[in-house]
Amino acid sequence: MTLALSVFSWISVLGIFNEFFKSRIYKKGKYEFAFTDLFFITCFILTYSVFFQTLKGYITYLVLAWVTTSLFGFFLSYDYLFYKRIKKGRYYLISLPSNLLFQQTVVCATVLFINQYCTGISANLIFGAVFFVLHIPIIFCRWVKLRYLYLILAFFGGMIFSFLITNYGGFGVTLSFLVHLGFYVPIFYYLRDETKI
């Protein structure tokens, strides 16, 4: 049930955001980051409430990771040589951690659920496969420039997230959050337009 609920949460929230809110939010100019933050922080609160029993020992680490990545995004937003390459501009870098906060909450809940039934490399492989399957719809999005690479990285990223959370607990949640951000930032720099990812 937890696995089905986490998959449903992931698909619903990111689907709703990408299909209904993204184009409207990004028309609002420099305040777009505030609307994005509001959307994903609300989704985080709802998701955390749903998975409270599973995640109750991890709230501090999730918030710490969000604050850390927000500060990193804020720092990058003042690096002119970096943010000038990104089509959506500096404010996008500030709002990205809120998106990751929602995603990593679902990731953490799913990894912890899988670890109730298996451990070690098998748990990592299972979550890698789940993360891969969650990203399969990206293949049908022709505007996503690196969709096949993105799909492969989703599998290995899922394995890394599972390994970190399983082996390092709350600290692993923070590390997986940073790894997730570390995936996006160089690709944004390469693509110049993060909507193509």
| Alpha-carbon distances of 109 from 7, 47, 146, rounded to whole Å | 10, 9, 28
Phi-psi label, residue 136: left if phi above 0, alpha if psi -120 to 50, beta otherwise: alpha
Higher per-residue confidence, 185 vs 87: 185
CA–CA distance, 111 with 101 (Å, rounded to integer) = 15
Number of domains in the chain: 1
Tens digits of residue pLDDT in 10-61? 677 766 666 556 655 555 555 667 777 888 888 899 889 888 888 888 899 9
Tens digits of residue pLDDT in 149-159? 878 888 999 99
Q: Is 24 exposed, middle or buried (0-12, 13-18, 19+ CB in 10 A)?
A: exposed
Tens digits of residue pLDDT in 106-119? 999 999 999 888 88
Core vs surface per residue 113-141: b (16+ CB within 10 A) or e: bbbeeeeeeebbbbbbebbbebbeeeeee
- Full residue range of the structural domain in which residue 98 is found: 2-196
